Copies of this chain bind each other. A is one copy, B any other.
Amino acid sequence: MTATPIINTRLTFLLLTLGSTIFHVQGFAPQVSTPRLRKCFKSISMSPTDDLDIHVMVNGMPGPMATAAAEACLRKGLKLTPVAMTGPDVEPMTIMVYDPVSEKSSEVKLIPSTQRDEVSASIQALKEACGEKNVLAIDYTHPSAVNSNADFYVEQKLPFVMGTTGGDREKLVDGVNAAKHFAVIAPNMAKQIVAMQAALEDLAKKYPGAFSSYTMACKESHQKTKADTSGTAKAVIDSLKELSDDDFTYDDIQMIRDDQEALDFGVPEDALKGHAFHRYTLTSADGSTQFALEHNVAGRTIYAEGTADAVKFLAERLQEGGEGKVYTMINVLESGALE
């Protein structure tokens, strides 16, 4: 039996217009009366096929994860703000974000994060033009910027989805909750993987020992540059250990960090530099029964789409009103049940 080949067909069209000066913050605020920004006032609709009047400031472009998230926003009917933050060392530039699936595109001027006043002025102008509740941020920047960026979003009253990992997570969550600010903060934005993990946790809680006498195995392949064991694999193992009585440890996880082994494991060649392929098995004592679970991810689409879904979820919470707080991807998943 061979694994179904997984082909990453997403083509990243990222047109960089270095040093463009199309947008100037000083000149930006008056533009709120252009037809483009007037469209903001259309009534909000959460239908996935409609264009939503939610404007997302995707911070961290032209980094690949932020760019993928911006493309996913376009694909899911969200709009991009014409200005976003980039790293302090990145030259100011205007990029064209293009989603090949929906064939939508949007120009975004990237402003170094050091120029906070400029970013701040843009945010306020956008809010005035589009409505206080229709402007949100996504953060895929750098671990070192996590806490200061969160503080900035709170200060700007800008709801945000934090996809960047690292930083002081406790401080991050506590600060946002204390400010009653709206945010989605999650270590893993791939909502389907989060759903699968939650299902396994529930299973282990409800039926501990259901797989007693079954032996466990786990094989995970990631790009060569990933040194440590997958955190997702560890979390899944924790649940499987509740179900089985095998004395499996994290050290028993078979890690693949070699291109040829990855190919043999079913990873497509174009995903060797960025993938997460996992296979877990539970096998009965006599070998006659085997359960297997696989989650095979090539590229960044699953994280990008989960991030865009988190923005849409957060926009709905904003529309409902009330006090803000930190939500997780579990909340995003649960909201599906309410639709």
Residues of A near any B CB (own CB < 8 A): 1-4, 6-10, 101, 190-192, 195-196, 198-200, 202-203, 205-211, 214, 217, 243, 264-266, 271, 279, 281-299, 301-302, 333-334, 336-337, 339
Contacts and interface: CB of A to CB of B under 8 A. Distances in A.
Of A214, A265, A333, most buried by chain B (CB within 10 Å of CB) is A333
Chain A interface secondary structure, helix, strand, loop or mixed? mixed
Given A10-B288, A289-B298, 7 more contacts: A195-B210, A202-B203, A288-B297, A290-B295, A291-B295, A292-B292, A292-B294
Contact of A337 (B9, B208, B286): B208
A335 to B, nearest CB: 9
B286 A4 contact: no
B283 A301 contact: no
B265 A289 contact: no
29 contacts: A1-B3, A1-B264, A1-B265, A6-B287, A6-B289, A6-B290, A9-B287, A9-B288, A190-B289, A192-B214, A192-B289, A195-B203, A195-B211, A195-B243, A199-B199, A199-B203, A202-B203, A207-B336, A208-B336, A209-B336, A209-B339, A271-B288, A284-B301, A284-B302, A286-B301, A288-B299, A289-B298, A289-B301, A292-B294
A276 to B, nearest CB: 9
B333 A210 contact: yes
A333 B191 CA distance: 28
Contact of A210 (B4, B6, B192, B291): B192
A7 B7 CA distance: 32
A266 B196 contact: no
Given A1-B264, A208-B337, A334-B207, A8 B287 contact: yes
Contact of A206 (B200, B271, B337): B337
A164 to B, nearest CB: 21
A210 B8 contact: no
A39 to B, nearest CB: 26
Contact of A294 (B199, B266, B291): B291
A285 B288 CA distance: 35
Contacts of A199: 199-200, 202-203
Given A3-B1, A202-B202, A298-B288, A191 B209 contact: no
A74 to B, nearest CB: 14
Contacts of A264: 1
Nearest to A3: B1
Contacts of A3: 1, 292
A339 to B, nearest CB: 7
Contacts of A200: 199
A180 to B, nearest CB: 27
Contact of A288 (B8, B279, B283, B293): B8
Contacts of A4: 217, 281, 283, 290
Contacts of A209: 336, 339
Contacts of A293: 291-294
